[in-house]
Amino acid sequence: MCEAMGQWGARWLEIEPHHMDPAYVLWATAKLADAGKLPDQTVVVRFELRDRPGDSYWLLLRKPTPELCTKGTGYLEDIVARTDSACLTEIHLKRISYQEALRSGRLSLEGPPQLTSAFLTWFRPSPYADITPARPPASRSAGPAPDARAASRRAEADRPVTVTGASASSATGHSGQTTP
């Protein structure tokens, strides 16, 4: 059921500026760190956000469980990442890659070259990143008229959602009705 709800949410996700909470995105990013790829020593990454100049966040990338800090850690910082909330969100949702963000100048990484290049390989994308949105991100702001949008959502609600996983025994649409 949770997997189906996540898939439905990813399909209908409409991100607006007030949804781009860097603390949430970085917390989720920490949860997606591949501990098997992390170095044996702790790597501290400070994120400076261009759109939130008073805020900084620190990812403590260590085995077995990376974590996010919102206050200075006392550790020496290995990497400083400079970006903005929108870029973090787009990377997390796999709308752009770390490499594309670096090439475009939306993300910069400062630190030892061996760490900054390895950093790009330490994270898995969101498990819902490959779900095709109902509307492409670029057209969301213009989008269809509210009545057309509501009709489209009603049509989507009538379609069953496939639930995957060992405990799944039925498919449930987001309207709450169970289908065989």
Walk along the chain (180 residues) and give the pLDDT tens digit of each residue.
666 666 555 555 555 655 668 898 899 899 999 999 999 999 999 999 999 998 899 999 999 999 999 988 788 999 999 999 999 988 887 888 899 999 999 999 999 999 999 998 998 877 766 666 666 555 333 434 444 444 444 444 333 332 323 333 333 333 333 333
Tell the CATH topology of 15-119.
Nonspecific Lipid-transfer Protein; Chain A (3.30.1050)
Name the strands in the sheet holding 67-69, side by side, starting at the edge strand that comes first in the sequence: 67-69, 52-61, 43-49, 79-83, 108-110
Global pTM value? 0.65
Contact 81, 50 (CB under 8 A): no
List Cα–Cα distances, 150 to 12, 40, 54, 105, 157, in angstroms: 12, 51, 39, 38, 10
Angle, CA 88 vertex, CA 86 and CA 93 arms, to 5°: 95
> What residue ranges do the domains of the chain occupy?
15-119, 137-179
